[in-house]
C-alpha cells in the first residue's frame, strides 16, 4: 500500500530535520508543501529530497495557508497514484510513531483518524485553556454537523 504523508510547512526548518527521517524510516513517501518559509525550511526540504527518493517538495510563492497547502498536497498525492494519503503537522503535535498503526487501520477501512480523545490518546504540552477550547470546539462541531467524531480537528 503506497502512502504519502503530506506535511505543510512555514518556518519549520528545525522540526523537519528531525521529523522527515523518522517518517521515511517507515518506508512512506513524504511530501513537504512549503509556503516560502523565511527560515530556510524549503531549502532544507530540497536537501532532504536530494538525499532520499521518497521525499518530495512543493514550493509555493508565499504564505497561502494550511488548508490550501493540504489541498495542493492531496492533489499531488492523487496524481502520483497514492493508495493512502496522511496529513501531518510538522511541529510534532502528531507522533510519527503512530503512522504504522494508522496505515494498518487503513487495510480494512476507507478512513482512519488519529484522535486525541480516545483511550490512549493524549494532548501533551497543552495548557488548560487550549484543552478547553479544543473540547468545546469539537462538541460544537459535532452538534452542528452531526458527526460521530470526538476529534474533528485532529488533522491526523
pLDDT in tens, 27-72: 899 999 999 999 999 999 999 999 999 999 999 999 999 889 999 9
Q: Are residues 98 and 136 in the same domain?
A: no
* Chain segment 19-32, per-residue pLDDT in tens: 999 999 888 999 99
Q: Are residues 93 and 52 in the same domain?
A: yes
Highest-scoring range by mean pLDDT, 25-29, 55-59, 92-96, 97-101:
55-59
C-alpha–C-alpha distance, residues 32 and 34, integer Å = 6
Q: Are residues 47 and 78 in the same domain?
A: yes
Q: Are residues 85 and 155 in the same domain?
A: no
pLDDT higher than threshold 80 for residue 84: yes
Q: Domain of 26?
A: 3-106
Average pLDDT for the chain: 88
C-alpha–C-alpha distance, residues 156 and 62, integer Å = 24
Cell matching residue 101:
498503526
C-alpha–C-alpha distance, residues 65 and 8, integer Å = 9
**Count of domains for the chain:** 2
Which pLDDT score is estimated for 153? Answer: 64
Q: What average pLDDT score do residues 93-108 get?
A: 86
Amino acid at each position: 500500500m503506497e502512502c504519502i504523508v503530506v506535511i505543510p510547512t512555514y518556518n519549520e526548518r528545525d522540526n523537519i530535520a528531525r521529523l522527515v527521517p523518522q517518517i521515511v524510516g517507515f518506508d512512506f513517501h513524504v511530501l513537504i508543501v512549503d509556503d516560502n518559509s523565511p527560515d530556510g525550511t524549503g531549502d532544507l526540504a530540497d536537501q532532504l529530497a536530494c538525499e532520499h527518493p521518497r521525499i518530495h517538495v512543493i514550493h509555493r510563492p508565499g504564505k497561502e495557508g494550511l488548508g490550501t497547502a493540504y489541498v495542493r498536497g492531496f492533489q499531488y498525492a492523487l496524481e502520483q497514484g497514492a493508495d493512502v494519503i496522511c496529513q501531518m503537522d510538522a511541529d510534532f503535535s502528531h507522533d510519527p510513531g503512530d503512522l504504522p498503526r494508522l496505515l494498518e487501520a487503513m487495510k480494512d477501512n476507507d478512513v482512519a483518524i488519529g484522535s486525541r480523545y480516545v483511550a490512549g490518546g493524549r494532548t501533551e504540552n497543552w495548557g488548560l485553556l487550549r484543552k478547553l477550547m479544543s473540547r468545546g470546539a469539537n462538541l460544537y462541531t459535532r452538534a452542528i454537523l452531526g458527526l460521530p467524531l470526538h476529534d474533528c480537528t485532529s488533522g491526523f
